[in-house]
């Protein structure tokens, strides 16, 4: 048996430190510097100018698109008119051909005298 005054041995383990002994991070001390009235004014004016320029770019892009659309429509109308003109010239050429004129004159009872024909060049 052990004597009563004997000291019990306790198993004491040292506490583990989770943080390093030396702090390797540098603490940043930030101080807020207020902006002057001039800086605020310049910032507001620059923002307004930027917004106005953005709006003007968008509106000019829209105007350009409308102009291109109108130009395309006008070009289409010009092409259609040119095609009609070509068709009309061909029709005039067919109607004024010598064989057709001779046929119309014959139906009307007219005769052609070769001695009375003269060629005129422009």
Per the document, the length of the chain is 122
Mean pLDDT of the chain: 85
CA distance 91 to 86: 9
Question: End-to-end alpha-carbon separation of the chain, Å?
Answer: 152
pTM for this structure? 0.51
Least confident residue range of 31-35, 69-73, 85-89, 114-118: 114-118
**Mean pLDDT highest for which of 1-10, 89-98, 105-114?**
89-98
User: Domains of the chain: which residue ranges?
Assistant: 41-114
- pLDDT level of residue 117 (50, 70, 90 thresholds): confident
- Rounded Cα gap, residues 99 and 17, in angstroms: 119
């Amino acid at each position: 048996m052990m004597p009563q005054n004997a000291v019990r041995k306790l198993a004491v383990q040292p506490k583990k430190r989770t943080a390093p002994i030396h702090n390797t991070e540098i603490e940043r001390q930030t101080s807020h510097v207020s902006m002057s009235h001039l800086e605020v004014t310049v910032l507001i004016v620059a923002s307004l100018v930027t917004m106005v320029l953005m709006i003007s770019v968008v509106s000019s892009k829209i105007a350009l698109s409308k102009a291109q659309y109108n130009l395309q429509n006008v070009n289409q109308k010009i092409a259609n008119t040119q095609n009609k003109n070509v068709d009309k010239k061909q029709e005039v050429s067919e109607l004024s051909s010598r064989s057709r004129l001779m046929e119309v004159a014959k139906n009307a009872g007219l005769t052609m005298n070769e001695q009375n024909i003269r060629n005129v060049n422009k």
